[in-house]
Amino acid sequence: MMLDDTIVAFLHRPLMCILAGSDASGRPAAGRGIGVMVSDDRETLGIILSAWHYSALANAVAQTGKLAATFVSPCDYVTYQFKGRTHLREAGPADLARAETFIADATASLSALGVPRGIIPQWMTTRDARVAMLAVAECYVQTPGPHAGMRADAANGAPTL
């Protein structure tokens, strides 16, 4: 699906990212993302994760190609979840640069909310980074409130292509 302007703008804000995959036995795996890029056609997200940090997640995604990614803006809790098929590729210098910016923005946002700055690096590292190329099939609003759980295209009032 093509992401609308609201969501593309959202993905350029300071965000935190959590991820889930599932392995062949149906056991879900969890982890965090450290960056996101939107493809020119707005149908694919490049989501950066550390295969060293969240190895079970990276293995599950490599095994089944299934991924869910939830992004939240810490300052106002605006949240979207994306789902679809994915494949992993090695991260290049541009991806790592993007990840560093993502981590710096998230750190600033969280520490402004009172999260001790010293513990935030526990959750985000670029070590052994991979990029999950997620072909977005579904997008849902997870912001607490009346639209929570709705498909984003319906909640945002934009036509889906």
Q: Which is nearer to another protein, 142 or 156 (CB)?
A: 142
Q: Which is nearer to another protein, 70 or 109 (CB)?
A: 70
DSSP state of 74: T
CB 35 within 8 A of CB 71: no
If one asks whether residue 145 binds another protein (CB under 8 A), the answer comes out as no
If one asks whether residue 140 binds another protein (CB under 8 A), the answer comes out as yes
Token pair belonging to 70: 């939830």
Using alpha carbons, list the distances in angstroms from residue 122 to 23, 40, 119: 25, 32, 6
What residues from 76 to 115 belong to the interface with another protein (CB under 8 A)? 81, 83, 113-115
Token pair belonging to 74: 């810490």
Number of residues that bind another protein (CB under 8 A): 43
The candidate with the shortest Cα–Cα distance to 54, out of 99, 21, 16, is 21
Instruction: Note the residues at the interface with another protein (CB under 8 A).
Output: 18-22, 25-32, 52-54, 56, 64, 66-70, 72, 81, 83, 113-116, 118-125, 127, 140, 142, 148-149
